[in-house]
Amino acid sequence: MAASDRDAAAGVIHDLAAAGRAGASYADLGMAAGVSRQAARMRWPDVVGTQWVLYLLTGKSGPHGTATRVFRSEEKAIETGRTAVEEGALADEGVVGAVVINSARQTVWACYFSDGTWAPVEIALPEDLETVPPAGEAGYSDWLHWWEQHITRLL
């Protein structure tokens, strides 16, 4: 394969990965490429983000606990987060904040429980909280702490 062909192929993969991180499915990629969903998945197996992680922050009188759940659907992760925050209003140790991140570790949705509106309020996170380091890596525990502090200020 010539260098220009390799560069072009790398560019296509980069564009596909960007589309996958933005929420495109294998069906979307296959349709754009004129192939089936299955063919797109076989041809580009790693370009579509296949998981979304939901982080939940618990404890109304001083947030202190976190829980995570992994989903294969962004919509399901957001729905679960919103429901957990809404139901968290009923318990002292209930969920007070939620964040969903994609496979690229970027936040795609966040909310907290507002005592003013008595409902989950969707929020944009500050720039320094938009990217979540992988668990166990440098900066991960700092991110959790900063997120907790951010939600505490909102409460």
Q: Which residue has the tokens 């809404």?
A: 86
Q: Are 122 and 111 contacting, i.e. CB atoms less than 8 angstroms apart?
A: yes
Share of the chain above pLDDT 90, in %: 32
Q: Are 111 and 97 contacting, i.e. CB atoms less than 8 angstroms apart?
A: yes
Q: What is the DSSP-derived secondary structure letter of residue 63?
A: -
Higher pLDDT, 9 or 133: 133
Beta strands in the chain (DSSP E): 52-58, 65-71, 95-101, 107-114, 119-122
Confidence of residue 10 (pLDDT cuts 50, 70, 90): low
**Model pLDDT, residue 89:** 67
Closest CA to 148 of 71, 81, 56, 76: 56
27-42 pLDDT, tens per residue? 888 888 888 988 887 8
Whether residue 91 is predicted with pLDDT greater than 80 in this model: the reply is no
Whether residue 56 is predicted with pLDDT greater than 70 in this model: the reply is yes
Q: Are 47 and 13 contacting, i.e. CB atoms less than 8 angstroms apart?
A: yes
For residues 140-150, give the mean pLDDT: 92
Whether residue 143 is predicted with pLDDT greater than 80 in this model: the reply is yes
Q: Is 114 exposed, middle or buried (0-12, 13-18, 19+ CB in 10 A)?
A: middle
Higher pLDDT, 56 or 33: 56
Most confident of 2-16, 86-100, 141-155: 141-155
